[in-house]
């Protein structure tokens, strides 16, 4: 991920690839902030749903800035 002025902000790595039908996805994502060591955020996917319809509004910058409850 990059800041709005083009500087590296965060990196994402994936591991533990899983297979579900025709879909391959990472079981784990690890997010690290640029220039930091030892700190990270880890996301472990326990289940995944594919081909689920989403509203078009989900794919807007305004939606990304919203808080999801």
pLDDT digits (tens, 9 = 90+) for 23-63: 999 999 999 999 998 999 999 999 889 998 988 988 888 88
Residue 68 has what pLDDT? Answer: 64
Cα–chain-centroid distance for residue 35?
A: 20
Specify burial of residue 29 (Cβ count, 10 A radius: 0-12, 13-18, 19+).
Answer: middle
pTM for this predicted structure = 0.66
* Contacts (Cβ under 8 Å, ≥6 apart) of 48: 18, 20, 23, 25
Residue 69 has what pLDDT? Answer: 55
Distances 32 to 15, 35, 59 between C-alpha atoms, Å: 14, 9, 24
């Amino acid at each position: 991920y990059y800041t709005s002025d083009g500087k590296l902000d965060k990196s994402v790595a994936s591991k533990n690839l899983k297979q579900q039908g025709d879909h391959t996805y990472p079981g784990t994502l690890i997010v690290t902030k640029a220039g930091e060591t030892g700190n990270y955020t880890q996301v472990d996917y326990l289940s995944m749903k594919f081909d689920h319809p989403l509203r078009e509004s989900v794919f807007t910058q305004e939606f990304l800035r919203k808080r999801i409850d």
